[in-house]
Amino acid sequence: MKFEKEILCIGAGYVGGPTMAMIAYKCEQYRVNVVDIVPEKIDQWNSDDLPIYEPGLDEIVKKARGRNLFFDTDIEAGIKAADIIFVSVNTPTKTYGVGAGMVADLQYWEKTARQILDCAESSKIIVEKSTLPVKTAQAMERILNSGKNGVQFEVLSNPEFLAEGTAIADLENPDRVLIGSQQSQSGLKARDELVAIYANWVDPDRIVTSNIWSSELSKLVANAFLAQRISSINAISSLCEKTEADVSEVARAVGMDSRIGPKFLNASVGFGGSCFKKDILNLVYLCRHYGLEQEADYWEGVVSINEHQKERFVLNMLTAMFNTLAGKKVCLFGFAFKANTGDTRETPALTIAGRLVAENAQVVISDPKALDNARQDTKELKGDIQFIEDPYIAAEGCHAVAIMTEWELYRTLDYKKIFVSMQQPAFIFDGRNIVDHEKLFNIGFNVFPIGKPKKVHF
């Protein structure tokens, strides 16, 4: 069959895989090819055991794979054949040199740009899917258009707003699709081509176009605003614990103001995930680069509050458990950075596990999807750490349970059964406020929620 368009995506990760699966699923007329430098990852995408867990992903991959969706390791051939190339490689925080710990590490992205330049034999549209600092498209254009063989590249910014755990629903029914382009004739033409792809299933009102710099910046700002809401409610959670106010009641009352809205106001042990911290630090770096010190400090505060919230959680545990955790067994319910994913990047659970073993506590980690990642992540931690998927077995003989991830599973466990299997007095620290605190207290637990009065038997 002759396809209308050849689409290539470089980077088969949490964004590239699901996004391309959705395009292929919705648009049978396009051939969608996803490539990666890690062959094992491509093998997994071609197997029944996909490299990431995402509700609904298996179904759409199964429908499109082999029909118009392909996963491959031949990046060169992919580039040659493509009309449109999405670049969805990772852009982690730089760990060395200038801007270390703050700025995005663009080495993977730049390698990709150079590889496209080396291999391309015809003109192409290049779409920045990765989250990048504002003005990156300029650098990409300069690299790409440094070739002498007459091949033209038009660079677009099309940041992804999906959240893990709901990626398929987000991709199928996005709040908006944002496409930034140069305002030149060729830029606008390329933009229209990308709009036409999304228009196969997204309502035209939700496809927003802008200049390329606004698009790049909007992605960083969206993540900064989301994270800011969590840090705001988490900062209030500390005050609630001091004043006997209840953070859920405060959040409900505040969120009912239609100007504020109810979403993203769940106080927690802290936000995790590969992007919030990285993108805010990137924004902070950009502000400082342009001499905007106060603005940089303002956004940095969002990250500081998050670090403080995790530390506060551990200190609360320590104080509650008679100021020593040495030799005590603590079970972590959940290790993923949020529910419905196996992803553990920047998970607060890793920080908590690290702090617990530093106090010489024994740690038991339980999670329905993230134990493989948890084993990898905790390799460097020195201490007694066990991994047990079954939460009942994991909690047996423990002094405390700490809920780290809001998995539905943890709401509905038989906590009576758990209580009798634990060391007494038994403690529960609810880092997500997802269990019925009154009920657990009545069972006999000493209960420590976030931002609500503790319930203790002594």
Following DSSP, what letter does each residue of 197-235 receive, concatenated? Answer: HHTTTS-GGGEEEEEHHHHHHHHHHHHHHHHHHHHHHHH
- DSSP 8-state secondary structure symbol assigned to residue 88: -
Bond from prior residue into 39 cis (ω within 30 degrees of 0): no
Strands (E), 388-452: 400-403, 427-430, 446-448
Query: Cβ of residue 433: shortest distance to ligand NAD, in angstroms?
Result: 23
272 binds, among ligand UGA, ligand NAD, none (CB under 5 to 8 A by kind): ligand UGA
112 binds, among ligand NAD, ligand UGA, none (CB under 5 to 8 A by kind): ligand NAD
Using CB under 6 A as the binding rule, whether residue 119 contacts ligand UGA is answered as: no
The whole-angstrom separation of Cα 299 and Cα 284 is 6
How many Å is the Cα radius of gyration of the chain? 24
The whole-angstrom separation of Cα 307 and Cα 300 is 11
427 binds, among ligand NAD, ligand UGA, none (CB under 5 to 8 A by kind): none
- Near ligand NAD by CB under 6 A: residue from 21, 61, 64, 90: 90
Contact indicator for 378, 353 with CB cutoff of 8 Å: yes
Using CB under 6 A as the binding rule, whether residue 338 contacts ligand UGA is answered as: yes
Half-sphere exposure of 222 (CA within 13 A, CB side): 18
Give the H/E segment covering residue 331.
Answer: strand 329-333
Query: Cβ of residue 266: shortest distance to ligand UGA, in angstroms?
Result: 3
Q: For residue 339, what are the contacts with CB-CB under 8 A and spacing of at least 6?
A: 165, 405, 406, 407, 408
Query: Cβ of residue 79: shortest distance to ligand UGA, in angstroms?
Result: 26
Look at the alpha carbons of 10, 13, 14, 17 in this order and tell me if their dihedral is positive or negative: positive
Query: Cβ of residue 381: shortest distance to ligand NAD, in angstroms?
Result: 22
The whole-angstrom separation of Cα 285 and Cα 71 is 36
Of 217 and 363, CB closest to ligand NAD? 217
Of 321 and 402, CB closest to ligand UGA? 402
50 binds, among ligand NAD, ligand UGA, none (CB under 5 to 8 A by kind): none
Using CB under 6 A as the binding rule, whether residue 170 contacts ligand NAD is answered as: no
Using CB under 6 A as the binding rule, whether residue 130 contacts ligand NAD is answered as: yes
What residues numbered 11-50 form the site for ligand NAD, per CB under 6 A? 11-16, 35-38, 41
Q: Collapsing DSSP states into helix, strand and coil, what is residue 123?
A: coil
Using CB under 6 A as the binding rule, whether residue 223 contacts ligand UGA is answered as: yes
Binding mask 163-182 for ligand UGA (x = CB under 6 A): xx------------------
Strands (E), 404-445: 427-430
Contact indicator for 31, 78 with CB cutoff of 8 Å: no
What residues numbered 256-275 form the site for ligand NAD, per CB under 6 A? 274-275
Query: Cβ of residue 426: shortest distance to ligand UGA, in angstroms?
Result: 25
Query: Cβ of residue 118: shortest distance to ligand NAD, in angstroms?
Result: 12
Q: How far from chain centre, in Å, is Cα 213?
A: 23
Using CB under 6 A as the binding rule, whether residue 213 contacts ligand NAD is answered as: no
Of 215 and 266, CB closest to ligand UGA? 266
Query: Cβ of residue 322: shortest distance to ligand UGA, in angstroms?
Result: 28
Name beta bridge partners: 192.
none
Q: Which stretch binds ligand UGA (CB under 6 A): 27-35, 181-189, 262-270, 382-390?
A: 262-270
Question: Residue 302 region, left (φ>0) first, then alpha (ψ -120 to 50), else beta?
Answer: alpha
Look at the alpha carbons of 312, 314, 316, 319 in this order and tell me if their dihedral is positive or negative: negative
**Catalytic (active site) residue 275:** yes
The whole-angstrom separation of Cα 336 and Cα 406 is 9
Using CB under 6 A as the binding rule, whether residue 131 contacts ligand NAD is answered as: yes
337 binds, among ligand UGA, ligand NAD, none (CB under 5 to 8 A by kind): ligand UGA
Q: Which residues bind ligand UGA (CB under 6 A)?
A: 131, 160-164, 223, 226, 230, 264-266, 268, 271-273, 275-276, 337-338
Q: Which residues bind ligand NAD (CB under 6 A)?
A: 10-16, 35-38, 41, 75, 88-91, 108, 111-112, 130-131, 160, 162, 164, 274-275
Residues catalogued as catalytic: 275
